[in-house]
Chain A
Amino acid sequence: MQKLNAPMVGPTPVPTSVPMNKSMCRSPRQSLPRPARMLAAGLLTLALAAPSMGAFAASTDANSASQVWLRLSPSQYKQVIRDIFGPSIAVTGRFEPEIRDKGLMAIGSREASVTDAGLERYDALARGIAAQVVDERNRATLIPCKPRSATSSDDKCAQAFVTSVGRLLYRRQLSRDEIKVQVKVAASAAQSLHDFYGGLGLALSNMLVSPDFLFRFQRSEPDPAHPGQYRLDAYSKASNLSFFLWNSMPDEQLLQAAESGAIHTKQGLDRQVDRMLSSPNVEIGVRAFFADLLGFSDFETLSKDPTFFPRYTLKVKEESQEQTLRTIVDHLLTRQGDYRDLLTTPHTFMTVSLAALYGVPLVDTSDNGQPDHWQAYTYPPDDPRAGLLAQASFVALYSPAGRSSPTGRGKALRETLLCQNVPPPPANVDFKFVQDTSNPKYKTTRDRLTAHRSDALCAGCHKITDPIGLALENFDGAGGYRTTENGAVIDTSGELSGHKFTGPVGLAKALHDDPAVTSCVAKKAYAFGSGRMPLESDPGWAQIKSKFSESHYNFVALLRQIASSDVFYSVPPQQVASAADSAAAAH
């Protein structure tokens, strides 16, 4: 058990279930202790700041002009709990499903509220977490004071806990009234239960179901530098930054920068951005972003028919996601590579199970009995299995249970990597050719799709999806490599924006050179942090894109540009109008 001031070491991202590979230079949070240290640091800060707490009401809520809500994602919720209370606190239970909008759950979080059944789930999660935090085994570490008596209330100790934990959970200082209310809850329950910790648990549980915790508020305030315009207030700015780069709440230093107003200065903001980007925690943010972008939440409901794909086990399903995230982290963070090269990189990581799926030789160098051993693996030049798109996390995710789907893959590729919208199929389409696999005239999927495209109604959309999806036909519905289908050699020729190519290697190279690829990832990274797509007309946005290009598409440089920009923290015009209405209503 970590003591209050003891540093936490080792990786703590959520979720990561496998040990990190030695080839990776760093692991998250190697050097940054968060949970217990944050509580301790928070307490110190609060002790110093307590007399002036009332002053912070100006930037917490009532005087803010407007709020936009983003519901915490399950991964953010888990990461926050882990960062505050440490990895020993299990977050067990299910969350309200997320909503995907414009290709990201992060954008959908703006629309998400909490339903009856959803709140029941949050309540159950909250009670489970609170019970563990106040449990006898964890008290010494996680509760920063000892009550006078364990069987009665102690307002001073309860206040210390509520103040420090509340500040981290709500990502801002609590007002005096907010603290008072929760201390009262703790006291009242402690007296009834004759249990100080039981009372404290109830107060914690309350905070965990509060909208102040479950939603990130983007509060806007008048921008003194631009009269008539609005900007995010300091706490909202800190939260945007922290959830963007670390997928978690602001740490102590960032909260202090918000409280002092330093975050509103260029120098102060840049200092925080530099510090956060040099932290191993940035891996957590990068993983969360790409898991969202690549639609990994859909793996929850993905299954394959073992009759067709006996190698696609539950383990492979989990490992295929981890393989992709490892490849991304290795390429973008460790190697500081060009984002576009992710599509062609021969470097990846492999387990024995994945190697069997892909049909690559892998010598198991692990000690006996060591499960899930990851090894760095490099494909030979021009191997069709190299690059992100060839991984099972893509080709299997966008295929149904018993076969491949060039149309599904092509659509996903357009929407995920190119930010292009593929219209839904028209309502009155006859698909009879596509899946009649017994017809000797149409042996391969390409044959069947070509026949299907003879219908003019279908041709429009399939011209968008199929020429790129068919280039991935060397991968079956589970991601296994193949060169024939029903005895016929698979034709993997394709076309993208007039550029003709052959096979997965050709497709990856074509995509590599398509400017939509870099533009799309930049937009989505911006949206991942802010909950909205950038306005193309904004000069600030043009500058971010330009700098990304100048950096040779270095992803960390992109994160830095976005995080340091004014536009990332600006309030869009339509929100300004709403803000003005709200401000009028509030006063």
Chain B
Amino acid sequence: MKKLNELTRRRVLRGMMAGGLVGVGLPILDCMLNTNGTAFAATGAPIPPRLATWFWGLGVGEGEWQPKTAGADYELPRQFKVLEPLKKKLNLFSGGQVFLDGGSNTTHFTGVQGLMTGTVSGSAGDYHGSLDTIIGDVIGKGTRFRSIEVSCDGDPKATWSARDTGGRQPAEISPVALYSRIFGAEFKDPNAAQFTPDPAVVLRRSALSAVTDERQRLMKTVAASDRAKLDNYFTSLRALEQNLEIQLQKPEPLAACTKPDEPAAEGPQSTLAVDAMARHDVFAGLLAHALACGQTRVVNLCITQGMAGLRREGEPSSHHTYTHEEPIDPVLGYQVKCDWFRNTYINGLYKFASILDSIHEGDRTLLDRMVLFAYTDHGAPRLHSVLNYPVITLGSGNGRMKTGVHVAARGDAVTRVGLTVQQAMGVTAGSWGTRSNRVTTPYSEVLV
């Protein structure tokens, strides 16, 4: 039996994290990593990069926000000043646009469609192959969840993640449900001394193969137009099987992983921004733990749908309504109420990034080992502009991206940012997008 004053790794982990939602930096002990801190010593497996996407609705509002200078020595604009402590770990992309190619601008949709999928069709039902899934296919293998989606405003449809052959992934809207899904009975602590496969999981895995075997029979009979749908179903089934398979394997020890406390039950449905952001903060903590515990390598968080319907208490109109109707303050040069919402959201981004940055994996933080990709639906929302999109990336993707840079795009397709992040995360594609949104050149100034 170990003495009480003997500091074991397990004791360090349990004691320091204590399940708190706001992360406390924990080192992956040196003995667990190779001499360069880039791989696990036990297996030689590289520490995987991870991706988080983070969507806020309605851009930055009216008013100038582009930094005056490009490159490393730039000043963060007022609108993103709250991110100043992390400035060296982020890149700000400005000036990118979505080309409509003569098509209509379905407001609050087409711009994101172009930015996230590289293709513009204007049809809400035609949203496939988002950036996160392309990257997830490369970095996300071997985890319980191919990705995890959450929405902070109570709408499960508020999500921009969609596979090539399927619809948009439904978002989890309840932190309690998310906790149960990730850290409930099926969670296997990677740092547990003992590992015993659950016989019930063995049986479920075995039983599901009977459903998988139906694929061939159904494929023979399905109409050509529905084959993609069938494919999607069986791909999802495969993901479920993989989830079970992973539960049957002893996980790689992950020092940064601790099981968080279960969140408190939520109140009734509300459209207040403060409630949505309170939920955001809880989600942010849970997602950070999920990434640190190797449960997934891709998480997608949306505060709202594009047409953000969040309100301030006692105000009759929502953020979206104010973007169109609030006069621009002649002295300040921007819409004051809209600015409050934007500020509230970006504060949330700072909190999320800070949590990720407080979790240590060897000589780097979790934020360093990933890319947090923050994007929005309109450049200037008052007129539904698809020009001058602000995109922010935080983290270096495990050293694959330079940070601290303002990239001034000057009218490029905004898909260049997506291609850059894809290449940084190991996607081998040399181009991305279709028609005028197709790009072949990443921003080399931020690629290592």
Within 8 A of A (CB), among B182-215: 199, 202-204, 206-208, 210-211, 213-214
B222, A582: Cβ atoms closer than 8 Å: yes
B207, A205: Cβ atoms closer than 8 Å: yes
Size bracket of the B interface? 35 or more
A contact residues around B289 at 8 Å (CB):
none
Q: Which of A117-125, A262-270, A382-390 interfaces with chain B? A: A117-125
A116, B154: Cβ atoms closer than 8 Å: no
A116, B324: Cβ atoms closer than 8 Å: no
Taking CB as reference atom, which chain B residue is nearest A127?
A: B204
- Given A61-B217, A401-B309, verify A97-B316 contact (CB < 8 Å): no
Taking CB as reference atom, which chain A residue is nearest B154?
A: A301
CB distance from B225 to the nearest CB of A (A): 6
A contact residues around B214 at 8 Å (CB):
210-212
- Given A112-B167, A301-B269, A435-B317, verify A203-B384 contact (CB < 8 Å): no
Decide if B34 is an interface residue (CB 8 Å cutoff).
Answer: no
Within 8 A of A (CB), among B115-159: 125, 145-149, 153-157
B contact residues around A193 at 8 Å (CB):
199, 203
Contact bitstring A40-67, B, C-beta under 8 A = 1, else 0:
0000000000000000000001101011
B contact residues around A123 at 8 Å (CB):
240
A582, B224: Cβ atoms closer than 8 Å: yes
Cβ-defined partner of B232 (8 Å) among A113, A203, A302, A436: A113
Decide if A431 is an interface residue (CB 8 Å cutoff).
Answer: yes
Cβ-defined partner of A116 (8 Å) among B145, B313, B326: B145
A115, B156: Cβ atoms closer than 8 Å: no
A contact residues around B199 at 8 Å (CB):
192-193
Within 8 A of B (CB), among A531-586: 575, 578-579, 581-582, 585-586
Q: How far is the CA of A528 from the CA of B177 in the complex (A)?
A: 32
- Given A97-B170, A117-B169, A434-B324, verify A401-B311 contact (CB < 8 Å): yes
Cβ-defined partner of B223 (8 Å) among A61, A68, A301, A430: A68
Q: Which of A17-25, A421-429, A459-467 interfaces with chain B? A: A421-429
Decide if A403 is an interface residue (CB 8 Å cutoff).
Answer: yes
B contact residues around A578 at 8 Å (CB):
223-225
B contact residues around A96 at 8 Å (CB):
170
Q: How far is the CA of A88 from the CA of B51 in the complex (A)?
A: 44
Decide if B423 is an interface residue (CB 8 Å cutoff).
Answer: no
CB distance from B246 to the nearest CB of A (A): 13
Taking CB as reference atom, which chain B residue is nearest A575?
A: B223
A contact residues around B218 at 8 Å (CB):
61, 67, 211
CB distance from A562 to the nearest CB of B (A): 23
CB distance from A131 to the nearest CB of B (A): 11
Q: Which of A4-12, A181-189, A250-258, A279-287 interfaces with chain B? A: A181-189
Decide if B342 is an interface residue (CB 8 Å cutoff).
Answer: no
A contact residues around B270 at 8 Å (CB):
303
B contact residues around A99 at 8 Å (CB):
125, 167
Decide if B408 is an interface residue (CB 8 Å cutoff).
Answer: no
Cβ-defined partner of A115 (8 Å) among B167, B223, B268, B382: B167
CB distance from B87 to the nearest CB of A (A): 33
CB distance from A351 to the nearest CB of B (A): 20
A contact residues around B306 at 8 Å (CB):
none
A62, B221: Cβ atoms closer than 8 Å: yes
B contact residues around A305 at 8 Å (CB):
271, 311, 313-316
Decide if B166 is an interface residue (CB 8 Å cutoff).
Answer: yes
Cβ-defined partner of B107 (8 Å) among A117, A118, A210, A427: A427
A209, B211: Cβ atoms closer than 8 Å: yes
A119, B240: Cβ atoms closer than 8 Å: yes
- Given A68-B226, A101-B125, verify A119-B325 contact (CB < 8 Å): no
Taking CB as reference atom, which chain A residue is nearest B235?
A: A116
Decide if A137 is an interface residue (CB 8 Å cutoff).
Answer: no
A115, B207: Cβ atoms closer than 8 Å: no
Taking CB as reference atom, which chain B residue is nearest A182?
A: B210
A66, B317: Cβ atoms closer than 8 Å: no
B211, A210: Cβ atoms closer than 8 Å: yes
Decide if A496 is an interface residue (CB 8 Å cutoff).
Answer: no
Q: How far is the CA of A576 from the CA of B225 in the complex (A)?
A: 12
A429, B324: Cβ atoms closer than 8 Å: yes
Q: How far is the CA of A40 from the CA of B230 in the complex (A)?
A: 33
Decide if A114 is an interface residue (CB 8 Å cutoff).
Answer: yes
A97, B324: Cβ atoms closer than 8 Å: no
A202, B225: Cβ atoms closer than 8 Å: no
Q: How far is the CA of A123 from the CA of B145 in the complex (A)?
A: 14
Q: How far is the CA of A575 from the CA of B223 in the complex (A)?
A: 8
Within 8 A of A (CB), among B76-108: 104-107
Taking CB as reference atom, which chain B residue is nearest A578?
A: B223
Q: How far is the CA of A575 from the CA of B181 in the complex (A)?
A: 40
Decide if A275 is an interface residue (CB 8 Å cutoff).
Answer: no
A116, B239: Cβ atoms closer than 8 Å: yes
A188, B316: Cβ atoms closer than 8 Å: no
- Given A211-B230, A428-B383, A586-B221, verify A403-B107 contact (CB < 8 Å): no
Decide if A111 is an interface residue (CB 8 Å cutoff).
Answer: yes
Contact bitstring B294-333, A, C-beta under 8 A = 1, else 0:
0000000000000001010111111001101111000000
CB distance from A456 to the nearest CB of B (A): 16
Taking CB as reference atom, which chain A residue is nearest B310?
A: A401
A contact residues around B213 at 8 Å (CB):
181
Q: How far is the CA of A61 from the CA of B215 in the complex (A)?
A: 13
Contact bitstring A92-134, B, C-beta under 8 A = 1, else 0:
0010110101000000000111111111110100000000000
Cβ-defined partner of A403 (8 Å) among B202, B221, B316: B316
Q: How far is the CA of A431 from the CA of B321 in the complex (A)?
A: 8
Cβ-defined partner of B146 (8 Å) among A116, A432, A579: A116
A contact residues around B166 at 8 Å (CB):
113-115
A120, B383: Cβ atoms closer than 8 Å: no
B240, A189: Cβ atoms closer than 8 Å: no
Q: How far is the CA of A429 from the CA of B321 in the complex (A)?
A: 12
B contact residues around A64 at 8 Å (CB):
221
Decide if B259 is an interface residue (CB 8 Å cutoff).
Answer: no
Cβ-defined partner of B268 (8 Å) among A185, A219, A301, A314: A314
B contact residues around A147 at 8 Å (CB):
none
A contact residues around B410 at 8 Å (CB):
none
CB distance from A492 to the nearest CB of B (A): 20
Decide if A229 is an interface residue (CB 8 Å cutoff).
Answer: no
Decide if A402 is an interface residue (CB 8 Å cutoff).
Answer: yes
A116, B236: Cβ atoms closer than 8 Å: yes
CB distance from B28 to the nearest CB of A (A): 29
B324, A431: Cβ atoms closer than 8 Å: yes
A69, B229: Cβ atoms closer than 8 Å: yes
Decide if B443 is an interface residue (CB 8 Å cutoff).
Answer: no
A contact residues around B146 at 8 Å (CB):
116
B170, A118: Cβ atoms closer than 8 Å: yes
Within 8 A of A (CB), among B15-35: none
Q: How far is the CA of A202 from the CA of B209 in the complex (A)?
A: 12
B207, A429: Cβ atoms closer than 8 Å: no
B contact residues around A192 at 8 Å (CB):
199, 202-203
Decide if A307 is an interface residue (CB 8 Å cutoff).
Answer: yes
Cβ-defined partner of B226 (8 Å) among A69, A120, A307, A585: A69
Contact bitstring A389-404, B, C-beta under 8 A = 1, else 0:
0000000000011110
Q: What are 25 residue pairs bridging A and B, where the CB atoms are less than 8 Å apart in the complex?
A: A68-B223, A94-B156, A99-B167, A113-B233, A116-B235, A116-B240, A117-B172, A118-B169, A118-B236, A119-B240, A192-B202, A193-B199, A203-B207, A205-B204, A209-B211, A212-B214, A214-B233, A301-B155, A302-B269, A308-B316, A427-B385, A432-B327, A434-B324, A435-B316, A581-B223
Known pairs A62-B217, A303-B269, A435-B322; list 5 more (Cβ under 8 Å): A94-B156, A209-B237, A211-B233, A301-B153, A427-B105
Chain A residues close to B by CB (< 8 Å): 61-62, 64, 66-69, 94, 96-97, 99, 101, 111-121, 123, 181-182, 184-185, 188-189, 192-193, 202-203, 205-206, 209-212, 214, 219, 300-303, 305, 307-308, 314, 400-403, 424-425, 427-437, 575, 578-579, 581-582, 585-586
The 9 closest A-B pairs by CB, nearest first: A402-B316, A431-B324, A427-B384, A435-B325, A427-B105, A119-B236, A113-B232, A578-B223, A113-B229
